[in-house]
Amino acid sequence: MPQDKHWIQCNCRSEALLLESNDDLALLSVYSLQHSPLWRDRLRLVWKIIRTGTPFTDQIVLGKEELKELKRAIKTTTKNIENYERTKRTESIEG
Whose Cβ is closer to Zn ion: residue 9's or residue 22's?
Answer: 9
Q: Which residues pair with 68 in a beta bridge?
A: none
Residue number, nearest CB to Zn ion: 10
Q: Report the distance separating Cα 16 and Cα 9, nearest Å.
A: 4
Asked if 1 touches Zn ion (CB under 5 A), the answer is no
Among 10, 49, 74, 81, binds Zn ion (CB under 5 A): 10
Q: What distance lies between CA 47 and its chain's CA centroid?
A: 23
- Residue 24 neighbours by CB under 8 Å, 6+ apart: 63, 64
* Closest separation in Å from C-beta 23 to Zn ion: 30
Question: Are 65 and 95 spatial neighbours (Cβ–Cβ below 8 Å)?
Answer: no
Q: Report the distance separating Cα 1 and Cα 51, nearest Å.
A: 29
- Binding track over 15-34 against Zn ion, x by CB under 5 A: x-------------------
* Closest separation in Å from C-beta 29 to Zn ion: 14
User: What are the residues binding Zn ion (CB under 5 A)?
Assistant: 10, 12, 14-15
